A = this chain, B = another copy of it.
Amino acid sequence: MSVSVVWLTFFVLSVFVGIEVISKVSSTLHTPLMSGANAIHGIILLGAVLVTGTTDNTFALIVGLIAIVLASVNMVGGFVVTDRMLQMFVRKKPKADAATQTPGDTK
């Protein structure tokens, strides 16, 4: 098979996976989902590392390092902030009766 068709096939299949996998999401989770997806495209960091690590041109090196900084902000920040949001969803264990909870933890 020709290389371009191979990549096209990857692309097409991934499109279906991407759509189907999130098609059941409830609107409650839209924000964390968007944020998590945002973190995933931070994988461009891998591309930035590969390009920067194989160049020997100083200008290219500098631009590459900038790209690495930006991409790591995207990737790391994205996953951390998503986790922070999701922690809140997890913390709530089913309580016997919500009304009898102690009010505590008001910041």
Q: Which residues of A contact B (CB under 8 A)?
A: 1, 6, 9-10, 13-14, 16-17, 20-21, 23-24
- Taken together, the copies of this chain in the complex come to 2
Nearest B residue to A17 via CB reads: B16
Kindly identify which residue among B1, B6, B21 contacts A20, using a CB–CB cutoff of 8 Å.
Answer: B21
Kindly identify which residue among B6, B10, B17, B24 contacts A17, using a CB–CB cutoff of 8 Å.
Answer: B17
A46–B68 alpha-carbon span in the complex (Å): 48
CB distance from A57 to the nearest CB of B (A): 27
A29–B6 alpha-carbon span in the complex (Å): 34
Nearest B residue to A14 via CB reads: B13
Nearest B residue to A16 via CB reads: B17
Nearest B residue to A13 via CB reads: B13
